[in-house]
Amino acid sequence: MAKVSYCNVYVDDQDQAKRFYCDVLGFEIKHDIPIGEHRWLTVTAPGDPEGPQLLLEPDVHPAVKTYKTALVEDGIPLAAFEVDDVQAEVDRLVSEHATTVVQRPTPAGEVTIAVVDDTCGNLIQLFSY
C-alpha cells in the first residue's frame, strides 16, 4: 500500500519559504541539509514529525517557473492545508501582515476556503470544515 511521504512545494527562496511555512503557518522543520547551493528542506505539520513532509524545493527548473506562473495567473492554489478555523487564521495573518490574502474566507459546500500568497511564488488554499 502506498502512502504520502513527501510533497513538493516549489519555492523561489528557501529562506523565505522556511520563514513562511514555519514562522507564519506553524509547520516544523524535519530536515534542513545543505546540498550544493540549495538545501534538502522539509517541514511537517506541528506535532506530527513522522507524518508527510513538504519538500520546500527550489524552483530552478524552467518548467517549474512556467508552471508556477500559470497557476498564480489563473488563481489556482498549489496546495491546500486544513486549519481549525479559516476566518480566525486569515484574521491572524492579516493582523500580523504575514501575507497577502488573495481570496477572503468563502463558504464552499461543507468547507470554508481562503487563498493566500505564500511569499515564495505560490498561492496556498486554507480550508476548514
Each residue's pLDDT tens digit, 69-123: 999 999 999 999 999 999 999 999 999 999 999 999 999 999 999 999 999 999 9
Query: What's the Cα-to-Cα distance from 15 to each of 1, 40, 67, rounded to whole Å?
Result: 35, 12, 21
User: Which residues, including other chains, have CB under 8 Å from residue 44's CB and lie 6 or more apart?
Assistant: 27, 28, 30, 50, 51, 52, 53, 54
Looking at the domain assignment, is residue 94 inside a domain?
yes
Please report which confidence band the pLDDT of residue 3 belongs to, taking 50, 70 and 90 as the band edges: very high
C-alpha 111: how far from chain center: 19
Number of domains into which the chain is organized: 1
Each residue's pLDDT tens digit, 8-45: 999 999 999 999 999 999 999 999 999 999 999 999 99
> Cα-flanking dihedrals φ and ψ of residue 70, to 5°?
-65, -45
H helices of 8-114, where?
14-18, 62-73, 86-95
Please report which confidence band the pLDDT of residue 127 belongs to, taking 50, 70 and 90 as the band edges: very high
User: Which residues, including other chains, have CB under 8 Å from residue 86's CB and lie 6 or more apart?
Assistant: 105, 112, 113, 114, 126, 127, 128
Q: Which pLDDT belongs to residue 35?
A: 96
Looking at the domain assignment, is residue 117 inside a domain?
yes
Looking at the domain assignment, is residue 1 inside a domain?
no
Q: Give the torsion through C-alpha atoms of 99, 100, 106, 111, to 10 deg.
A: -30
Looking at the domain assignment, is residue 105 inside a domain?
yes
Nearest residue to 123 via CA among 14, 115, 105:
115
CATH value at residue 111: 3.10.180.10
On whether the CB atoms of residues 9 and 16 are closer than 8 A, the answer is no
Looking at the domain assignment, is residue 88 inside a domain?
yes
For the whole model, what pTM was predicted? 0.95
Q: Which pLDDT belongs to residue 103?
A: 98
Q: Which domain holds residue 89?
A: 6-128
